[in-house]
Amino acid sequence: MDVREDVMAIVQDLPEPKLEAAKRYLESLREECEQEETQPASRKPVEGPRYRIVPLPYEALDALMGILDSPDLAGDALADTEALYDEV
């Protein structure tokens, strides 16, 4: 069996709800291959983030202010790290 047949066998065994995810993944691989073919490796443009960026207003951060001042989260990262190495 070659790789193509292996992939087809895996796809055949997938449950129906997972087929859409597999289709999206395979389409993204195909697009990536097409881009590699059209652009030399040394001249590829710098790509932006591969995740969606959602800008939020400053007011959305107000709820987060002061969380790190909580006594439960307070601590000294340097001292904690040194303590880990002291135990070794």
Q: What is the pLDDT along the chain (88 residues), one digit of tens a residue?
A: 699 999 999 999 999 888 888 898 999 999 888 887 776 656 666 677 777 788 878 887 777 777 767 777 777 888 888 888 887 6
Residue with tokens 């069996």: 1
- Enter the tokens of residue 64: 């987060």
pLDDT for position 36: 79
For residues 35 and 43, the answer to whether their CB atoms sit within 8 Å is no
pLDDT for position 9: 92
- Enter the tokens of residue 42: 């040394």
| Whole-prediction pTM | 0.41
Spatial CA neighbour of 31 closest among 16, 17, 47, 15: 47
Please report, in angstroms and rounded to a whole number, the separation of the first and last CA atoms in the chain: 50
